[in-house]
Chain A
Amino acid sequence: MVPPARPRKLAKVPFVELADGRLQGVVSSGSDIGRVYVSSVATGTFAFACSTNNNRPCGGAHGSFCNHIGALINEAVLQYGAPRVVRYLKADAPEGDTDGAGLASAMRSTRPQADTTKAAASVFSRFLRHLAYLEHAPVTAPLPEMQFFPPTRAVA
């Protein structure tokens, strides 16, 4: 079973996940409430990408991680705990007491390249899918399958 996510404030980074071989997510623009940045860092290579939801490249992500990617890494560590993020990214950082900044600088020091796989559209659609979870109505018919998913007091 997967330990539940830890609570965190979502205003700045409404969505973060470890999926598709990337740490990826969506970062709110500081200046335009209608705009978000889609940011990602690939497992192993730390190849990075950042662009707006309208596919404009982020001005800050030239040559290295921009602030959006920094925020994404911070929030991932908050939500999943450093050990899981470090392990997933295969980063050369101590699993124990690493914070987001430490993890980011460990990855930055390997001089990662920009990611050319253009994953932004798929990350954004995963974010929209995530948002849709708020829209599904509760049901009062029993879900016996949930007996396979006990709660746990362990945290990520």
Chain B
Amino acid sequence: MRADLLAGPVEGLDEALEAVDAFDQALVAGLLRPQPAGTAGPTRLADAVLGTPLAAGVAEAAAKAAAGAAGEDHFVALAAARTALHGSVHDALLTRVDEAAGRQRGADVVPVAAGQPTANLLTAARAWLSDLARCGWQGLDHEVVSGAAEVVSAMLPDPSLRRLATLLDGFAAELAASCPGASLERFPLRRWGDLWSRGMLLTVPGAAVAPVTGTADGRLLPLGIDVTEHATAAQAQVHAVFEPADGSAPRLVRASVSVPKPDTVVGAGIWQLMRPHMSLLAAAGEGCSMDLTGMPVTAEGDLVWSDEHARPGEPAEAFATARVALPTATAPVTAPLDRHPARIAVPVFLEGYTTRTDDEGRLTFTVAGLDLVVDTDRIPAAGPLTPEAVAKSGACIGLIRWDAGSFGVQPLAVETTVRKKVTAVHAGAWAGGTTDKAGARAEKAATDAAKVLSERAGRLLRK
């Protein structure tokens, strides 16, 4: 990997993010009243998208917002402008990563699901997000925040609304933990701005639909598992190289499974909620390939997993895949609405680096002269991989990410040498089950928790 290509400024990035920041600042006091003289806020967003197809709509929305008269459609327009700016940042950053990783990226067009009917729940979600924008982070109280609960509860049973439901659920929990807003000294402005605008855009009918554009037949070679979670949801995403049976070029794909969960099911307990729905978790955990037949896939390279289209294949060690197959694999495009720096997660294989841990425990890989911060906090507690193992490693399968202004790496697996023997340790090793003592204990605790709750639910829920 040409890590040096990740260094250096990205042209236009600061300007784009300054406009984003100006808008985010306006959300502190909220958009209910006219913006104080001398503050740029929404106007900066409008200026930043001048000359784009969004310009007219955003200019109108910004003017209304500046006057304290913005309606819901105006909020959507502002969210769209903010998202478009992040889209441009995403594209510039991803180009850098592709150059550094020597990765070819496809040029498919991601189809848009047009003409979706407006759903009442989307309207309700938009109303809640609009309330937030009006009251501002400073005006947050339990009453405003709790407005999300009913919408989320109504959306969760419908899998087609899961994206928005899961986002709002995590966002509302975070806001609730910060109430009342008036007592907060600092706000996570960028983050809440991200969650707010993302939610707003997902209230546009059809925005959350990722159409299946084909099927995958061939061999799937797992690289590693990325786990994401908030209090009441978890997702496991397997990054893999797919070798088509027709002999065409191998490509990078993902396969995901996600589930809403009670906040008391934590750690290794999340695996048992997801495991029964994706045989790939066990295969990835055990270092096996899978053979796919007619597996639905989107233009973004997301397999829409269904066990009936997959059967266990030969053993396939992830580090062999990373050394041999990964360099030749092409990467998929990102759907227009998903273009955001937080979405950047490019699988890479790193070796020949030196590691350094500073006084604050921050781990850095020096790769080809460039310092890459290792995001050890992202290593899930529900697995055998530890920051210590990463610090002693000689090779790493990771995801290149961009956070807080710089590139870093999230380790998915490392090779360490113990008594002259090279051993691989995977973050997702417990996905299919584990005999590890700590892991088994955590699973048992989660089983017990789920059992108690199910028993309570059985007695109380349907009365």
Contacts and interface: CB of A to CB of B under 8 A. Distances in A.
Given A7-B442, A131-B457, A79 B264 contact: yes
A24 to B, nearest CB: 12
Given A53-B460, A149-B170, A143 B258 contact: yes
Interface string A113-153: 00000000000001111111111111111111111111111
Contacts of A53: 460
B410 to A, nearest CB: 8
Interface stretch (A14-22, A55-63, A65-73, A95-103): A14-22
Contact of B461 (A132, A144, A148, A149): A132
A66 to B, nearest CB: 20
Contacts of A4: 229, 231, 263, 266-267
A1 B174 contact: yes
A6 interface: yes
A108 to B, nearest CB: 25
A116 B108 CA distance: 62
A144 B335 CA distance: 10
Q: Secondary structure of the A side of the interface? A: loop
A155 B452 CA distance: 23
A54 to B, nearest CB: 10
B150 to A, nearest CB: 9
Contacts of B162: 139, 141, 143
Contacts, number: 188
B233 interface: yes
A14 B448 CA distance: 11
A148 B380 CA distance: 15
B230 A149 contact: yes
Nearest to B227: A151
B342 interface: yes
B177 interface: yes
Contact of A7 (B164, B167, B449): B449
B215 to A, nearest CB: 15
Nearest to B303: A140
A134 B272 CA distance: 12
Nearest to B383: A151
Interface stretch (B114-122, B371-379, B418-426): B371-379
A118 B262 CA distance: 25
Interface residues of B, number: 84
A138 B236 CA distance: 11
A139 B156 CA distance: 11
Contacts of A148: 167, 170, 191, 194-195, 198, 342
A143 B230 CA distance: 13
Interface string B336-359: 001010110100000000000000
B261 A147 contact: no
Nearest to B168: A145
B240 to A, nearest CB: 13
A134 B450 contact: yes
B396 to A, nearest CB: 18
B266 A142 contact: no
Contact of B459 (A20, A33, A136, A141): A33
A36 interface: yes
A5 B377 contact: no
B367 interface: no
Interface in B220-279: 227-233, 235, 237, 254-264, 266-267, 269, 273-274, 277-278
Contacts of A143: 162-163, 166, 233, 235, 256, 258
Contacts of A8: 264
Contact of A150 (B262, B306, B378): B378
A154 B194 CA distance: 22
A147 B170 contact: no
A129 B153 CA distance: 7
A-B pairs, top 10 by smallest CB distance, nearest first, are A138-B259, A146-B228, A140-B305, A131-B457, A145-B167, A146-B235, A10-B452, A149-B230, A142-B256, A142-B302
Given A134-B457, A136-B259, A142-B254, 10 more contacts: A36-B456, A126-B149, A133-B261, A135-B457, A143-B163, A143-B258, A145-B164, A147-B343, A151-B229, A151-B377
Interface of A: 1-2, 4-11, 14, 18-21, 28, 33-34, 36, 53, 79, 126-154
20 contacts: A5-B231, A5-B264, A7-B267, A126-B149, A130-B263, A131-B457, A132-B457, A133-B232, A133-B260, A134-B453, A137-B259, A138-B258, A141-B159, A142-B237, A142-B298, A143-B256, A145-B166, A145-B202, A151-B227, A151-B378
Interface of B: 142, 146, 149, 153, 156-157, 159, 162-164, 166-167, 170, 173-174, 176-177, 191, 194-195, 198, 202, 210, 227-233, 235, 237, 254-264, 266-267, 269, 273-274, 277-278, 298, 300, 302, 304-306, 335, 338, 340, 342-343, 345, 375-381, 387, 442, 445-446, 448-450, 452-454, 456-457, 459-461
